[in-house]
Amino acid sequence: MLKFEDAITGCLRNDNKSKEMVYKSFYGYLMGVTLRYVEDRNDAEELVNDSFIKVFKNIGQFSAPKYNDQVKKAFKGWIARISSRTAIDFLRSKRTFLYVDDITEEQQPLTELNAVSQLNVQDIMKLLNKLPETHKLIFNMYEIEGFSHEEISKMLNIPESSCRVYLTRAKNKLRELYRNSLMDSYEPTTQNIRKI
């Protein structure tokens, strides 16, 4: 079995065994990143493969940290950014999700979303998938991928203030969806008690 650092070096030399190891090692991870942006599994599989093409084509641009124990973590961050940008480009090419309102940031109340930290991954994904596409996209880019409002604004070609509004709306909607899911989970218990 190749060591991770050797596999990266092999990818730089265009070695197929090294590429295969990297692909198999990180396929699931990139699928998870991509599924945060697109729901359709076929689209996600295509986007993951497109991401790997970009990873292998640009692997020379990956700058590994000097300590070997940090290389894998840095590489995961690097390929996650490639994958999320690939998904964003795909969504942008569809152009079915972007619309810019005249609403200003000041008209939206500021909120904090701490309830999501108590949910498991499947619950969070279900809630995120219920968001309108723009809200989901900007929430993912800002809260999960760590892009700044300025970066999001440039990538999606929308004003920074719109990014902030969409993020606030996404958080408000997630809070509402979370509350509703809690209400739904308690409702059957209440009905059963009434029958007794």
10 Å CB burial of residue 142 (0-12, 13-18, 19+) is buried
Q: What is the pLDDT of residue 105?
A: 44
CA angle, corner 102, sides to 99 and 105, nearest 5? 105
Whole-number pLDDT of residue 186: 58
Residue 105 lies in a domain: no
Please check the confidence at residue 55 and state whether its pLDDT lies above 60: yes
The answer to whether residue 162 scores a pLDDT higher than 70 is yes
Q: Residue 58 domain-assigned?
A: yes
Q: What is the mean pLDDT of the chain?
A: 79
* Residue 110 within a domain: no
Q: Indicate if 137 and 64 belong to the same structural domain.
A: no
Environment class of 16 (CB within 10 Å of its CB; exposed 0-12, middle 13-18, buried 19+): exposed
Query: Looking at residue 117, what is its pLDDT?
Result: 45
Q: pLDDT value at position 179?
A: 81
Least confident of 47-51, 54-58, 142-146: 142-146
- Check whether residue 32 and residue 75 sit in a common domain: yes
Is the residue at 103 inside a domain? no
Q: Domain holding 146: CATH number?
A: 1.10.10.10
Residue 102 lies in a domain: no
Residue 196 maps to a domain: no
Q: In degrees, to the nearest 5, what angle opens at C-alpha 17 toward C-alphas 12 and 22?
A: 70
Q: Are residues 57 and 12 in the same domain?
A: yes
Q: pTM of the prediction?
A: 0.64
Residues 125 and 70 in one domain: no
CATH number of the domain that residue 14 is part of: 1.10.1740.10
pLDDT digits 0-9 by tens, 117-140? 445 556 777 888 888 888 888 888
Domain that holds residue 55: 1-97
Q: pLDDT at residue 68 above 90?
A: no
Residue found by looking up tokens 């940090």 in the block: 70
Same domain, 84 and 141: no
DSSP structural state of residue 109: P
The pLDDT confidence band at residue 116, using thresholds 50, 70 and 90, is very low
In this prediction, residue 158 has a pLDDT band, given cuts at 50, 70 and 90, of: confident
Distances (CA, A) of 92 to 41, 98, 160: 18, 8, 17
Q: Which of 63-77, 86-100, 121-135, 182-196 has the weakest average pLDDT? A: 182-196
Would you say how long the chain is, in residues? 196
Residue 111 counted as domain residue:
no
Out of 97, 129, 159, a domain closes at: 97
Identify whether residues 2 and 53 lie together within a single domain.
yes
Beta strands in 47-118 (DSSP E): none
Q: Does residue 181 lie in a domain region? A: yes
For the cut 70, the answer to whether the pLDDT of residue 114 exceeds it is: no
Domain count within the chain: 2
Q: Are 82 and 34 in contact (CB under 8 A)?
A: no
Residue 50 is predicted with a pLDDT of 95
Average pLDDT over residues 14-24: 93
Are residues 160 and 149 in contact, defined by beta-carbon separation less than 8 angstroms?
yes
- Per-residue burial over 85-114, b if 16 or more Cβ lie within 10 Å, else e, is bbbbebbeeeeeebeeeeeeeeebeeeeee
* pLDDT of res. 30: 93
